[in-house]
Chain A
């Protein structure tokens, strides 16, 4: 072949490219084939639905190239990512556009297969073979420099992560370190090669590319191609059903192991526990280390903060659920005794037949914090509500813990029994004190015609409607957002408004969607008391940032957990309202 259009140094690149393209294509087909049938149908449909199609285009550019989410969170990291991703994209795009404008050296004319073959590496190595117009030359050099600045930041981040505002970075294995090194050197090599045309650098450049592409499927950089697919699947509205198949697989490969979730995770209070964060969970899944994946899935508090901060929007909690469900415990639950309960409850008059307007379901955890129950009773009395307690003498668990253990069928049985009891009461509104219950009631219960409210919402409504009269005091409160109320349902404003009507609200260091789990979460099976205590201490410190007089929360479990470690009094929102009821 003509020396002006071919040189053996392009071969490593071509081989690498061929490999990675084949790999990605097979992977894509596999993922789509693994999707459950109706999910697949939904996916095809979403591609042609204008609304999702637009969202697809928006996110493909916004997330994959510009990394808008990372920009928002941390501009330095945003620049680092988008400079490399967008810069590289531009080099490839401009390179291809340039193909048509390149002036081949005289006497060279390539056609047919040869032309196609050349096209695949020409934009990458064009400088060796041809000259470009000054405009393109500028653009190509510009983006190359942009990329190199991004890489510079990456190197700095690797050495001093604190400088770019990151406390903990993901720990990597050999392949990941290797590909990272390849990535860091590709562009400097290219620059040197282009500027000096020394053959050795062209070789190095090409080999670097090959290393990068050959390692790509086996490292976190697989997220570059997969994320595009993941965005499409996500917009199609799919949910992970199995831990290592279909949609979940797309998510696993989309995880860039960027480590943002590591800092966000409440467990990252020490090195050992930070190994339980989502970044590692995804990595274990990718490496098919299902034993470790299972362990992490069972250790996770399921607070959802990693999902909230994930720049790729990976639903790691869903995957953890499916992981738990994939290897369920052989507990062989026998809840046949539930059948007797309804008749007994009816006979003993526990279930009211008076059709109360409001039915109050305290839940298991609230049974351990009778202060909340008493406060709710007084509040409802003061508001003149027509109410009834459904589980005054202990009730049936809401089913959420069963769900958390991956045992859907058993949870269903409890849900059905509670549904039956609640419906029998004839209430119009169900008020819950426990966000754990709230989540399952909102998501899994079918209580048509019955409004479900957490007591923060309910009290807010009572105050706003004027049914409940409260005095404003001068206590400075800080509010802790329970994970399953805040991040799960965005109930951020109601509790804050309630608190402001009875006192002053101070801000925590991390609030709302960034609120740190109290450490008591039922989501985790494995954490020991000492580990939980460490999490709690960290969370309390965060809440104490502005020196409040009291910590207020809206979850019995958070209340109990904080009370162990808090330097100030911890109360439920219902309690502080109760204290300020107008006499």
Chain B
């Protein structure tokens, strides 16, 4: 049986799921709200742990997804369940009938302005991890002027009840170390500090990256959360943190502060999600049916999930989930 499958989101998860479903003989249709496929990965310069160009991965995925019906600059305006599956009305007023829906809507980066004490949007030299990636890609950011001292703050918007995000965002630790190394590459004379609470090097090669960060790049890892940032007379940043391993508060002046923003669920999909009857979990991400065996399933029949819409995930995890969701959807269609 060849069926239409509506994939909402054209990031890594959506593209990979579409690729696999097409290989399985189905007709995936990707609905992408922006004007390009690739999602957040396309905004990244290089990927941890081995500094692999993100472009290579995205290009490969774009090649794989060739032939798939992609609706760019389009959102799902309305969706209804009927006896044949789903009927979706798109923002361009076209309608699509689909047997199954895959939510691959991904994440939003935490809005760093919400952590007011870090002064993002207030102090000139506070930037986010995403902006730093842009700097790596384009070499341009007027806030980055040959900084001599650079700080990275982990867990911005994660593990923090004050912003109502108690979960760990999983990839920021490794990203911070990767970016810290890259900054040392660009500015070899700079001192680079990372302020972490725990360094969660959970994947293969990640601990090696940590070791290289320390040994080859001389990045200084300070265990302690930056608690406040101020600007001094010269417009440099004065930060305060506790060096918890030393047991003393610590104060230093930096030229650049990079905030490692956490992942939050992409909220632009809330209305459609509600219409489909998919609930959120306590972290605000989409609720999956089962942690172990139902990670692609929702409580609703025919509605599947993949990627970071259900929890913060790394790119390999996302791709693995996208592949598994293809199999799940395929079985769902054939067993009906």
A and B touch in the complex (CB under 8 A): no
**Residues of B at under 8 Å CB distance from A?**
none
